[in-house]
Chain A
Amino acid sequence: GESVGLHLPTLSVQEGDNSIINCAYSNSASDYFIWYKQESGKGPQFIIDIRSNMDKRQGQRVTVLLNKTVKHLSLQIAATQPGDSAVYFCAENNSGYSTLTFGKGTMLLVSP
């Protein structure tokens, strides 16, 4: 079936570096995409979202890029901090349905 998946299971960076986490999706009907951060023992926390009519959206220290041609989504974190260490999930949604389909997750490890 169609699914959302991640390229890299673990990403290790130094504090202050920029981080890029990637995600591929295969459902061409998806029109809404979300990045979640999950810290150990906690539920997923909303970071940033983007609709399919956009290709870039910026938040505080985070940017999401959407390339619909190749069905690729990325999360860029600027000046990564130790507190950014967590598992990051992409998720997709078809606005005709309320459920989210999650990718497998990427562990981001930030060294001081």
Chain B
Amino acid sequence: EPEVTQTPSHQVTQMGQEVILRCVPISNHLYFYWYRQILGQKVEFLVSFYNNEISEKSEIFDDQFSVERPDGSNFTLKIRSTKLEDSAMYFCARGQGAGGYTFGSGTRLTVV
């Protein structure tokens, strides 16, 4: 059973539409992260979430992005008005101590 489950596995959306990507970390860890990976490129940090608050965010994580942990277990990333360049794999991760993470299998977002 995967330790970090992401849904959906693939999302296709029209440019300008809102998308919500979901993650179930299945643990009591306090640190959670969203990273993205544009096809063929490196994994890039978006945001870290500690104790139900954003603790760090990158330049990529602008006002179009938001994160929530609405019910204490699910962890969501919302993109309010998607752009073509938002097309990427989005990975949720939970901290496992000493700086290492456990990553989910990712959501492939395709903006058309």
Residues of A within 8 A of B (CB): 32, 34, 36, 41-46, 49, 89, 91, 93, 95, 97-105
- Assuming the A-B contacts A32-B98, A34-B99, A95-B99, are A102 and B43 also in contact, with contact meaning beta carbons closer than 8 angstroms in the complex? yes
Question: Are B42 and A100 in contact, with the CB atoms below 8 A?
Answer: no
Q: Which residue of B lies closest to A101 (CB)?
A: B45
The interface residues of chain B lying within 8 Å CB-to-CB of A104 are: 41-42
Taking A32-B99, A99-B48 as known contacts, 7 extra A-B pairs with beta carbons closer than 8 A to each other, sorted by chain A number, are A36-B103, A43-B4, A44-B101, A46-B100, A98-B55, A99-B33, A99-B56
Question: Are B105 and A43 in contact, with the CB atoms below 8 A?
Answer: yes
Question: Are A100 and B105 in contact, with the CB atoms below 8 A?
Answer: no
Cross-chain contact of B105 among A42, A46, A98, A99 (Cβ < 8 A): A42
Q: Which residue of A lies closest to B55 (CB)?
A: A98
The interface residues of chain A lying within 8 Å CB-to-CB of B58 are: 99
Q: Which residue of A lies closest to B45 (CB)?
A: A99
Residues of B within 8 A of A (CB): 4, 31, 33, 35, 41-45, 48, 50, 55-56, 58, 91, 93, 95, 98-106
The interface residues of chain A lying within 8 Å CB-to-CB of B106 are: 41-43
9 residue pairs, one from A and one from B, having the closest CB atoms: A43-B103, A93-B99, A102-B43, A104-B42, A32-B99, A102-B42, A99-B45, A44-B103, A43-B105
Q: In the complex, A103 Cα to B37 Cα: how many Å?
A: 12
Cross-chain contact of A43 among B31, B44, B98, B104 (Cβ < 8 A): B104
In the assembled complex, the CB of B106 is this many whole angstroms from the nearest CB of chain A, namely 5
A-B contact pairs, 30 of them (CB 8 A): A32-B98, A32-B99, A34-B100, A41-B105, A41-B106, A42-B106, A43-B91, A43-B93, A46-B101, A46-B102, A49-B98, A49-B99, A89-B42, A89-B43, A93-B99, A97-B56, A98-B33, A98-B55, A98-B56, A98-B95, A99-B33, A99-B56, A99-B58, A100-B43, A100-B99, A100-B101, A101-B45, A102-B43, A103-B42, A105-B42
